[in-house]
């Protein structure tokens, strides 16, 4: 097994999620929110974030893929769609694991907005700002990171390492 360098511990992730949740709790006080998880990478972040939400929450799931190995192809495949009626007229918070080139978030944002939600924001746990190929930023992000390939806490390298409770970098 490869050596893994820890970038964010479980406690650091939890603390940052509480801060993001506080902002969402303020923003949506008294309103219902539909949280949309982008599978598979965002799944642990999604669960931890939604549990911190104090209002009424619905949950929905979406799966797209673009990645093969370590490089983004820019071509997005919709593998598991949303139902339009679960988005129409709702306050939607789209939850992503990481924004890298930005192709995926751009695709998802358009896709969800076309279903006419009442409101829309996206939250990404990680943001590799310097890797961007299209001009897009998540409305909320947990941590801005350097150009590193990260794994753990839902993030994979060829489907491995998702179960690690922290976020790390594989040392080669």
Which 8-state DSSP code applies to residue 149?
-
Q: What is the largest CA-CA distance in the chain?
A: 49
* 8 A C-beta contact, residue 86 and residue 60: yes
Among 36, 50, 102, 142, binds ligand IMP (CB under 6 A): 102
Pairing of strands 33-39, 91-99: parallel
- Does residue number 66 form part of the binding site for ligand IMP (CB under 6 A)? yes
- Catalytic residue, chosen from 48, 97, 100, 127, is 100
d(CA 90, CA 110): 16
Segment near ligand IMP (CB under 6 A), from 12-20, 45-53, 90-98, 114-122? 90-98
Least distance (Å) from ligand IMP to the CB of residue 117? 20
For the beta sheet containing 71-80, the strands, ordered from the edge strand earlier in sequence to the opposite edge, are 71-80, 57-68, 33-39, 91-99, 119-127, 140-144
Among 8, 28, 44, 103, binds ligand IMP (CB under 6 A): 103
Instruction: Give the residue with the Cβ less far from ligand IMP, 28 or 49.
Output: 49
Among 104, 120, 123, 141, binds ligand IMP (CB under 6 A): 104
d(CA 93, CA 106): 15
Instruction: Give the residue with the Cβ less far from ligand IMP, 72 or 86.
Output: 72
Among 21, 28, 36, 41, binds Mg ion (CB under 5 A): 41
Check if 100 is active-site.
yes
Alpha-carbon torsion (79, 94, 115, 108), positive or negative: negative
- Does residue number 166 form part of the binding site for ligand IMP (CB under 6 A)? no
Contacts with ligand IMP by CB under 6 A lie at 41, 66-67, 72, 96-105, 149-151, 155
């Amino acid at each position: 097994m490869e050596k893994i360098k820890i970038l964010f511990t479980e406690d650091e992730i939890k603390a940052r999620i509480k801060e993001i949740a506080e902002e969402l709790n303020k923003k949506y006080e008294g309103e219902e929110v539909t949280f949309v998880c982008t599978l598979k990478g965002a799944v642990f972040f999604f669960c931890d974030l939604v549990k911190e939400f104090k209002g009424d929450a619905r949950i929905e799931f979406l799966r797209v893929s673009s990645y093969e190995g370590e490089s983004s192809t820019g071509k997005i495949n919709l593998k598991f769609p949303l139902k339009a009626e679960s988005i129409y007229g709702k306050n939607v918070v789209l939850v992503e694991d990481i924004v890298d080139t930005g192709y995926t978030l751009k695709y998802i944002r358009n896709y969800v907005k076309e279903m006419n939600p009442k409101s829309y924001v996206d939250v990404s746990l990680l943001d590799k700002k310097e890797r961007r190929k299209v001009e897009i930023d998540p409305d909320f992000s947990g941590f801005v990171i350097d150009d590193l390939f990260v794994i753990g806490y839902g993030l994979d390298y060829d489907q491995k390492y998702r179960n690690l409770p922290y976020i790390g970098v594989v040392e080669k």
